[in-house]
Structure 1
């Protein structure tokens, strides 16, 4: 059996006629930059999340940059975040001349350990970026307690979590700004790069709209130093079609995750994902931990089962962050998890036969 990790081709075939028609409509009207589909998508994203404002942009990375620029992050400021995430979370802090300050992760959820945040707050701390890793929100109430008491901004990096909930509501309602990614392999993905910034503040949203078009408040009049960070109209058209079916796809992801967990719960030598009861995950990944990860990955590959490691090296150990002065052992939980974590195929279209085959092989090879 040959398993597809994300099954993007199958999803395209499901919605092919609608997607082709949507793309053709853009080709016909020729408004490739900031065409009508972009504004329509932003309205639909607001409807989906009950956010007041959604501003699409060119990637999840640019979404983070726009968010921090809107919140006036300056060189020398400090931003607290997790070392166990994709590099964009901390890279964007550094690009703006600020300093990423890492906090170790919780060993169950792999998100930032909120009990360790307060000790890292200094008079230079400007904000906190929490990451909803693999699709699950962090402990947002606890983070907001620190941010409000210390007058810090809170950005949620939701590159993997669009559609997740915390206490019954979308994450945008628990932060200053929520960012997400529409990279093709994300739960809601386009056919290239794309992202969005969501905010309930009209003032912040208006600034972000200007920042994404080089700080313009009207054509060729620039209020801010900004970016060229617009979402292509064709990508917006694709997302409009896929967003129509996204609640169904999220429910299917939940079912796949439940089936995995049920079939793997008695397998020794692996640790299953854990989602807290007061929140839901978008299940961008289904990630297990195994002591013999490398061997397990190789044997699964030989059996036609692709796996991915998200992420093999924590950010504090990356060469580009040597200047921060961290060393191995500074964040032991993140380091331990990075050596054991691996993601199994996850998409809404995995069949029962495929799930049976994957879980049988994991049980056979885990040790």
Structure 2
């Protein structure tokens, strides 16, 4: 099986001397590619070529139908997605960020105006919160999962908080049992950001089905990627689903009659829905392939000083393996050493939300050390299901060279 991949990326960062075990400098020339292979972070073309015939058939169905928006393909995809995630409703929208914004609007209790989120997940929830007209507030993350937990959220809850958004970061479905109980006790809605985690979890407890709503992105780099943009909100509440369907189309109660405020124009188009129907049945197999690749990277790093580099594991169905995340106390030195072996890397995500100028006014009043530490240490290795065996071996060799 094949799926989507990342667009081709090139790392322009200045190169620095790489560090070996216990911080010793490695003396190979940094500016020279030592391998006969270059491994990019991702390559969308491979998944597109694998699915090419099916995608063309899907496009033909849409063109022949005469429907461009909210036709039979869209309706079928919403049903199939809801069935796959074991929820009652899936509501297609134009992007993952729109999904977050509309979900926040749909579940925010009256009289409240604050959304609690993590600051190490790319600022997508911060963006959606501000767009929705609310205030982001940051809680620290667990040092192991790098996600919000009940213990990290409890200190920042008060009567203003109406929504908590927890991101299943890098594809790992974090344990939500205590957090859902905490939210229920405080009258706060829980949203799961599943943009990186479609398919995580076990039957009866899939990512997106535990909170009051779950949001998805179908950006081409995701585990379920469109050939363009798209998103969805899923929920087990018919009332929330009905509100979402109004909000995604101007707040209309009936055509040209906006009956609720906050409506937008956010549609998952018919062509993308058709493409996503092709790829949805592949998700579980492709997630397994991602986990397999991460396991090989982790094995390669077994003898590397963990301060130099460690690979975050993705051991079971609770993890989709969206990103092959690693940590280093000298991240840029290690990335330079990997580049010298022809291996690309990227950083997801380098700047805490509140340190970005757009969100500086929402900076927390108390330190969030685990968030700051994660943003300074975490980076990503090449990962997509179509990686060739020689490319995986090259990444493993580069990792072992750090020992």
Shorter chain as normaliser: what TM range? over 0.9
In 1, the alpha carbon distance for the partners of 2:112 and 2:89 equals 30
Alignment partner of 1:218 is 2:254: yes
More deviation in 161-170 or 131-140? 161-170
Residue 58 (structure 1) aligns with = 94
Match of 1:31 in 2: 67
In the TM superposition, what whole-angstrom CA distance separates every residue of 1:277-329 from its partner, at most 9, and x where no partner exists?
A: 7x6111110100112211222332343322110011111211112212437x8
Within 2, Cα distance between the matches of 1:75 and 1:292? 45
In structure 2, what is the equivalent of residue 333 of structure 1? 370
2:27 aligned partner? none
Match of 2:401 in 1: 364
Q: Which moved more, 1:164-173 or 1:306-315?
A: 164-173
1:282 aligns with 2:320: yes
Q: Normalized against structure 2, the TM-score is what? A: 0.86
Counterpart for residue 97 of structure 1: 133
Instruction: Write the mapping of 1:72-151 to structure 2, written as runs, cut at 5 A.
Output: 72=108, 77-151=113-187
C-alpha displacement at 1:76, in angstroms?
Answer: 6.1
Query: Bigger relative contact order, structure 1 or 2, given CA contacts below 8 A and separation 6+?
Result: 2
- The 10-residue stretch of structure 1 (164-173 or 309-318) with the greater mean CA deviation from structure 2: 164-173
Alpha carbons 2:118, 2:138 under 8 Å: kept = yes
SS at match of 2:76: helix
User: Which SS does the other structure have where 1:245 is aligned?
Assistant: helix
CA distance in 2, matches of 1:36, 1:69: 27
Which residue in 2 is equivalent to 1:257?
Answer: 294
Q: Map residues 202-241 of structure 1 onto 2, 5 A cutoff.
A: 202-225=238-261, 226-241=263-278
Distance between the aligned counterparts of 1:10 and 1:175, measured in 2?
Answer: 35
Q: CA deviation at 1:252?
A: 1.3
Q: CA RMSD in A?
A: 1.9
Deviation at 1:78, TM superposition (A): 1.4
Residues 91, 59 of structure 1: alpha-carbon distance in 2 compared, 3 angstrom cutoff = same
Q: 1:295 & 1:140 partners in 2: Cα distance?
A: 36
Worse-superposed segment, 291-300 or 343-352:
291-300
Structure 2 residue corresponding to 1:342, chosen from 352, 362, 379: 379
The alignment partner of 2:208 has SS state of: helix
Asked if the contact 1:75–1:96 (Cα under 8 Å) also holds between the matched residues in 2, the reply is: no
1:300 matched to 2:338? The reply is yes
Runs of 5+ in structure 1 lacking a partner?
Answer: none
Q: Does 1:291 align with 2:342?
A: no
**Contact 2:183–2:190 (8 Å) recurs in 1:** yes
Q: Could you tell me the TM-score, scaled by structure 1's length?
A: 0.94
Q: Which has the larger radius of gyration?
A: 2
- Indicate if the aligned counterparts of 2:109 and 2:188 stay in contact, CA closer than 8 A: no
Work out whether residues 114 and 139 of structure 1, in 8 Å CA contact, stay in contact via their aligned partners in 2: no
SS at match of 1:280: coil
1:85: how far off? Answer: 0.7
The CA deviation at 1:91 is: 1.6
1:310 aligns with 2:326: no
Conserved? CA contact 2:96–2:216, under 8 Å: yes
